[in-house]
Amino acid sequence: MIPDTMNAIDHGAGGDLSCLRMITTQVPTPAQDEVLIRVIAAGVNRPDVLQRSGKYPPPTDASPTMGLEVAGEIVAVGNDVTRWRVGDRVCALTPGGGYAQYCVTPAAHCLPIPNSLSMLEAAALPETFFTVWANVFQRARFAAGESILIHGGSSGIGSTAIQLCRAFGASQIIVTCGDQSKIDYAVKLGASQGINYKTEDFVERTKALTGGRGVDVVLDMVGAPYFQKNLNVCALEGRIAQVAFQHGVQAELNMQALMMKRLTWTGSTLRARPKLAKAQIATSLETEVWPRFEREPNALRPHLHARFSLDDVASAHRMMEAGEHFGKIVLTVSNE
């Protein structure tokens, strides 16, 4: 039986960690194309921290509660939903609302939980897998036999990108990280080489590692300080996939490399994309990627750095802000 109320995390008008509090609120009702999920676990992502800080307001039609990915059990479906049934176990990309005991999301944004994964691991899939697949594989057209430079190789996005690029036949996966332990982690996941961006020039080092050619694709979430460097590190016909701007959005550029090398610079934000676009990403993932979880259960899976209970969400955000985690952070919300 679905209760009338639930526990959820509220961040009020936003601010530091002290603004986080547990509240009791109404269980949402799914719209015609939505499902209601009893949340077992929820992923923690950098956009959550930005939203809590007041720097990333949710869309007007989204839940004000943080949380962009969940795993759990469907307990109700909208009138137009035909694929999913009550009792189905799914992981899902959500427009918000994941930091709660129940969450609604479009049915088309749900995916079955791979048999090889736990519920906690499944909660760490949607945000990074949707992001990497859409930006690296669909927009930047990464293909087998190509090389890629992944900034932030030990992050959730970086960890996912390493595994997906390796699974789809990358010739060379180079990552940048802030210390040797993170490089070691990335190499263990499947990176070919790691560069400590604090002690080495990643452009010069990448050029050396590629015989002077540069890389076919760059995945960047750093932003302004790397704009020119990313242009310079690309090979002829290279592509840059921009997924975030953690260190600034404005910089002075010399665009000559863009033109002379015939480069493509693309990027997108996931949350603001139309529901249909996200549904199409989900369909592509289920067709192209999900079967690999069964064929390669040890090679393709999210790596969980830490888990916290819902009422200890402040500790999860503190860890995310410190940037010292490897892989994903998740919240345990309800018992399976």
Identify whether the C-beta of residue 333 lies closer than 8 Å to the C-beta of residue 94: no
Predicted local distance difference test score (pLDDT) of residue 296: 83
Q: How far is the C-alpha of 165 from the C-alpha of 61, rounded, in Å?
A: 34
Give the pLDDT confidence score for residue 1 in this predicted structure: 87
pLDDT tier, 116 (very low <50, low <70, confident <90, very high otherwise): very high
End-to-end CA distance of the chain: 15
> Using only C-alpha atoms, what is the Rg of the chain?
20
Q: Are 232 and 260 in contact (CB under 8 A)?
A: no
- Tell me how many degrees the CA angle 219-252-240 measures, rounded to the nearest 5: 15
Alpha-carbon distance of 114 to 186, in angstroms, equals 23
- Mean predicted confidence (pLDDT) in 61-88: 97
Cα 14 to Cα 51: distance, rounded to the nearest angstrom: 7
Decide: 242 and 220 in contact? Cβ < 8 Å: yes
Q: How far apart are CA 25 and CA 246, in angstroms?
A: 33
> Is 98 a residue whose pLDDT tops 90?
yes
DSSP tag of 100? B
> Which domains does the chain carry?
5-125+271-332 (3.90.180.10), 129-267 (3.40.50.720)
Give per-residue pLDDT as tens, 125-157: 999 999 999 999 999 999 999 999 999 999 999
State the pLDDT at residue 324.
83
Q: Which residues contact 183 (CB under 8 A, 6 or more apart)?
A: 153, 154, 175, 177, 191, 194, 195, 196
The pLDDT value given to residue 330: 98
The yes-or-no verdict on residue 272 having pLDDT over 90 is no
